[in-house]
Amino acid sequence: MLVLAGTVPFKGLPLKQGVARFDDDFAIGDNFALPAAELMHCTTAMIATATIACRALGTDPPYAVIAGCLGEGDGSKLVYRFLAEQAEALQPKVLTLHYILPIRLAAEKFIESLRHWKNKPILIADAGGMYVMKPAGFAGDFDLMTPDPGEMAFLADPDAIHPAYVRHFISEVDLTAIPRLIKEAYEHHNAPRVLLVKGNTDYIVRDGEIVATVSEPDIPAMECIGGTGDTITGLVSALAYAGYDLVEAALYASRINRIAGLLTNPTPATRIAEIIRHIPAAIEQVLKGVEYVAA
């Protein structure tokens, strides 16, 4: 099973869990639904992407776990508690953590429980998942993380406890410095076995070595659309669940995400759901080796 866990920006939303669906609407089990047009950049975009990707790859749909959190921590605590007390019963093959507040004690309880699981899943983290696991010293427990350049600077800084406190402000990260930041993150043991660094150029890294980069097709409008990083996390999770090696999954996820953008022909006003709907066609092009063609 592919299990995806994180919070959503809905105040007071209790824990919701179940098999995810993405058709005319986005739903988790029978007790949470959103019109597709209301998908936003956050955990919902990641789950919707993984759902449509799993369908295209011929696997079971993911199992999603969410709770509402606007920064007060209640929803994040519910997700951590689920991970520590109930997630093992789902027997996940892949477990992905997304937007969640960095609550260290709750994260420690989850990791401690995980170390006693009979079968450890492939662990993937983006956003809040990285924000808590790196300063807590658990980055090495994960198999793959998907940082953007600012988050890469966070992983590289041995003293930073949150991306806001890196030595150089996030918006000023020199993109040419990413190889150096990758090297430093591994030197300080603050990175998992595989990294997919998202940006104008995507870097695929294994054990500190850059093994591939992806920069084409370049779709500048995608930089303005919230959620295009979340879609990469959903894609790499679905590909890992389908049995692809993590480096291969990261490389394919990067290419598929860009080609889905190309097929959408987006503008800065394009909603993330429109790009997600082009993912099946992008998967077919990448996995069949077809040269990408815009609509």
CATH code of the domain covering residue 263: 3.40.1190.20
Specify the pLDDT at position 295: 44
| CB neighbour list of residue 44: distance below 8 Å, 6 or more residues apart | 8, 26, 34, 66
pTM above 0.95, yes or no: no
Task: Give the pairing type, strands 94-97 and 63-68.
Answer: unpaired
* Count of domains for the chain: 1
Closest CA to 292 of 267, 260, 265: 260
* Residues of the chain scoring pLDDT < 50: 165, 169-171, 294-295
Examine residue 111 and state whether it is found in any structural domain, yes or no. yes
- Summarised one tens digit per residue, pLDDT across range 87-140 is 999 999 999 999 999 898 999 999 999 999 999 999 999 988 888 888 888 889
Task: Report cis status (omega within 30 of 0) of the bond before 163.
Answer: no
Examine residue 61 and state whether it is found in any structural domain, yes or no. yes
Examine residue 294 and state whether it is found in any structural domain, yes or no. no
Partners of residue 122 on adjacent β-strands: 94
Give the range of the structural domain holding residue 263, as residue numbers without chain letter: 2-287
Specify the pLDDT at position 194: 97
Examine residue 292 and state whether it is found in any structural domain, yes or no. no
The sheet that has 144-145: what strands, in order across it?
A: 32-35, 25-28, 16-22, 63-68, 2-8, 94-97, 122-125, 144-145, 194-197, 202-206, 209-214
CB 21 within 8 A of CB 51: yes
3-state helix, strand, coil in the chain (%, to 5): 45, 20, 35
Q: How many whole angstroms separate alpha carbon 110 and alpha carbon 106?
A: 6
| CB neighbour list of residue 73: distance below 8 Å, 6 or more residues apart | 101, 103
Specify the pLDDT at position 167: 52
Specify the pLDDT at position 169: 46
